[in-house]
Structure 1
């Protein structure tokens, strides 16, 4: 593509191909199409030639349905098949003439061999066209062919059998000697592949070496793929962890948010909040782990605290993970009255350490509600009871004080009553599952 032509220099889209089809039907030139799409004329020419589709089922014209020889008008040859001794019929009128004649030459249209390479925009009706080989350009079919070609170009291995045998001749004996792929690549740079590529070749089975021959790989469990993360990537625009660090100067003036999931058998989960400045912990039981359930808790908290401005004072900024239950940040950031009450930011994938405070306090919650517990019989009263015991446990980071006392000094009694938190003496704290035994 020419560097002098403006444009994004990216692949053609379905909209571009639709315009090409319409322009070809209007008999526009490649240069005119390229000028409108800000592409090079050769790009349009290659696109039409590669992605045209054959319509050879529409064979011949009404008067000439089978003979496509270029010499058919002046040919006087008879008995070309040599099957009949007495045959005075001219061969050009026979339906097997093109198959048996030694002088057969296929008639081709100039529109097919040269630009525009397709029958789009041709003035001659299809039923009167004697050409057998016809091509059309269809935008939808062309885009499908392009997509299939794009995928297939990235599939497979770009090595011949000879090159694979040469790699295998080096790799197989050394693997059997107990060497790792890294050791092999480090000592044999002439192979011209990386360690990851060698692992891929072994995993795909193109070499004689198998995964069972590797000493450590068979011990590793398959990597877990999180299916509960947000699919809509647009919600992360302006809400990433990098944006959080750039816009948030005070390291303690934010709240961490997460969920604790039930074991299989219940759809309930626990929505948790952690205030780093006081290490205060708050939790609320959700009947379903959905964005609507999280929004309902936000609205209930706002109602208890007073209004959206009081909510914003307690929850100015919220940092959370990319769980699907937090996939509607606009509804969480905005109150039912349309007032902005908080700002939501998301941690990077697989980086739980970016909100390490709430992950640590979850370990204390799991002392009371161990992993594998089904939340079917849990109530909000049980969760509030767990929260009170966690908040009443002394912390080393608070110099022996408890999160409840530090939050009481900072927020006052009204906020603590609105959150329905109560004080317990250190001797009353129970961090074992028997706390919830009835």
Structure 2
């Protein structure tokens, strides 16, 4: 039946499991459930047996919550264990009866040995059932167990212990001799490993050598990663960096975010116009898709749709989760497509090197570990004005403000609330903001 399943939806979802639980409670058969979910009945059977939840109910177990013998109602044995000579207590009330009695037979329910394998939909109430060991199907518990199994099945390394030992005999002595992972992989192609994989093995402690045995490991602190990557891979269709290169543009806009210290969730959304080297920055209270869209809408409202298209017709950015909804950013407030967004390759921030260089100038004024909690948009305008009034060698000694004024005119710069700073008044130190408070 799997060939009739549309697309690649062969795994059961949480909604499917909730339907299975509801159907079991109403007494539906596996065939009826499978027909509705477009699955094979064996799939439903395996799902229930693998992910059923074991429950123990002590009530109604004939005086002894630990006695599971089918003879407990009429058994009159005394001292079956032989440990106490003058014991006059019936064995049915003794906690050790199940382990010591030679005639013990565990009570079982046929409902648990064959379909539906669970107590869901049983006409007997739980309080009236004498079976101590019960099973039930819970959709949320089953979905959690499924995800744990899916994660564990993909954990570890795809290698036998013998193969790992052989590779370790080659790698570990060379690491102790001071050789780098790249040098080892280059000189020993028979290892069939990439440099990144070897670093991962060293970090996880899979090999005898550890990452502390590397020559330069002790000099580096763990890298702090603020951003989360976009999980929906469909947004990259026709928006990859290769698609951007095919356009052959000589000027475009680059976009990124600058994060605050850990005590603040505020971030700065930055733009960089590559032809004019013009830098723009806007404060956001949260690093979310909605906050980025609000900045886009505000810019389009200030500039107008035509001038917005002139400045931000094509935008190149990274794969941060805040940029994970490109369609809402590309569609303007009047329903007109205002921009085209493309994404850099993973771990390739140099593909938008212009804005990264602009961030170094921003960090001169706002050093790392600086909190943006009390930073205002007025402060950011002051910082941007001083950065844009700094001459650039790539512009022949001219400032980005002067080049933008020549290319776009004064109206657009006024709409962006930009102004020129005299050359002797330009300040690129943290004192620039301190003097304004």
TM-score of the pair, normalised by structure 1? 0.70
2:26 maps to which residue?
26
1:275 aligns with 2:252: no
Q: 1:436 to 1:120 in 2, by over 3 A?
A: closer
Greater mean alpha carbon deviation, residues 244-253 or residues 83-92: 83-92
> How far, CA to CA, are the matches of 1:121 and 1:195 in structure 2?
56
2:142 maps to which residue?
142
CA shift at 1:12, angstroms? 1.9
1:315 maps to which residue?
312
1:45 maps to which residue?
45
2:106 maps to which residue?
106
> How far, CA to CA, are the matches of 1:241 and 1:161 in structure 2?
42
CA shift at 1:62, angstroms? 6.0
Structure 2, unaligned stretches of length 5 or more? none
Structure 1, unaligned stretches of length 5 or more? none
Instruction: Render the CA deviation track for 1:65-106: whole Å, top value 9, x for unaligned.
Output: 776545678978777455788999997798876554323222
Query: Contact conserved, 2:266 with 2:283, CA < 8 A, in 1?
Result: yes
> How far, CA to CA, are the matches of 2:52 and 2:46 in structure 1?
10
2:249 to 245, 248, 251: 251
CA shift at 1:206, angstroms? 4.8
Greater mean alpha carbon deviation, residues 14-23 or residues 404-413: 404-413
2:240 to 232, 239, 242: 242
Q: 1:113 to 1:251 in 2, by over 3 A?
A: same
1:116 maps to which residue?
116
CA shift at 1:46, angstroms? 1.7
Instruction: Render the CA deviation track for 1:162-214: whole Å, top value 9, x for unaligned.
Output: 88766655554454344555666778788887665554444333544333333
- 1:38-437 map, 5 Å: 38-58=38-58, 68-70=68-70, 80-81=80-81, 98-155=98-155, 171-180=171-180, 199-225=199-225, 227=226, 229=227, 233=231, 237=235, 241-242=239-240, 245=243, 249=247, 251-252=249-250, 254-258=252-256, 272-277=270-275, 279=276, 281-283=278-280, 286=283, 302=300, 305=303, 307-321=304-318, 338-340=334-336, 342-343=338-339, 345-348=341-344, 349-360=346-357, 365=361, 369=365, 371=367, 379=379, 382-383=382-383, 385-387=385-387, 389-390=389-390, 393=391, 396=394, 407-419=404-416, 433=428
Instruction: Render the CA deviation track for 1:308-330: whole Å, top value 9, x for unaligned.
Output: 34433443344344567767867
> How far, CA to CA, are the matches of 2:56 and 2:408 in structure 1?
81
> How far, CA to CA, are the matches of 1:420 and 1:125 in structure 2?
73
Indicate the SS of the match to 2:386.
helix
> How far, CA to CA, are the matches of 1:373 and 1:107 in structure 2?
66
Higher CA-based Rg: 1
> How far, CA to CA, are the matches of 1:96 and 1:297 in structure 2?
72
> How far, CA to CA, are the matches of 1:71 and 1:268 in structure 2?
70
Q: 1:220 to 1:266 in 2, by over 3 A?
A: closer
Indicate the SS of the match to 2:240.
helix
Q: 1:78 to 1:403 in 2, by over 3 A?
A: closer
1:36 aligns with 2:36: yes
Query: Contact conserved, 2:253 with 2:316, CA < 8 A, in 1?
Result: yes
Instruction: Render the CA deviation track for 1:356-397: whole Å, top value 9, x for unaligned.
Output: 34444556x46984856969698467446525533xx4755x
CA shift at 1:343, angstroms? 2.1
Instruction: Render the CA deviation track for 1:137-159: whole Å, top value 9, x for unaligned.
Output: 22222223333333444445688
CA shift at 1:36, angstroms? 2.1
CA shift at 1:14, angstroms? 1.8
Indicate the SS of the match to 1:118.
coil
Greater mean alpha carbon deviation, residues 85-94 or residues 173-182: 85-94
Q: 1:244 to 1:345 in 2, by over 3 A?
A: farther
Query: Contact conserved, 1:241 with 1:345, CA < 8 A, in 2?
Result: yes
Q: 1:389 to 1:383 in 2, by over 3 A?
A: same
> How far, CA to CA, are the matches of 1:179 and 1:62 in structure 2?
72
> How far, CA to CA, are the matches of 2:294 and 2:42 in structure 1?
57
Instruction: Render the CA deviation track for 1:377-421: whole Å, top value 9, x for unaligned.
Output: 98467446525533xx4755x677765565455434544554566
Query: Contact conserved, 2:240 with 2:342, CA < 8 A, in 1?
Result: no
> How far, CA to CA, are the matches of 1:265 and 1:90 in structure 2?
67
Query: Contact conserved, 1:30 with 1:41, CA < 8 A, in 2?
Result: yes
Query: Contact conserved, 2:330 with 2:341, CA < 8 A, in 1?
Result: no
Query: Contact conserved, 2:64 with 2:92, CA < 8 A, in 1?
Result: no
CA shift at 1:270, angstroms? 6.6
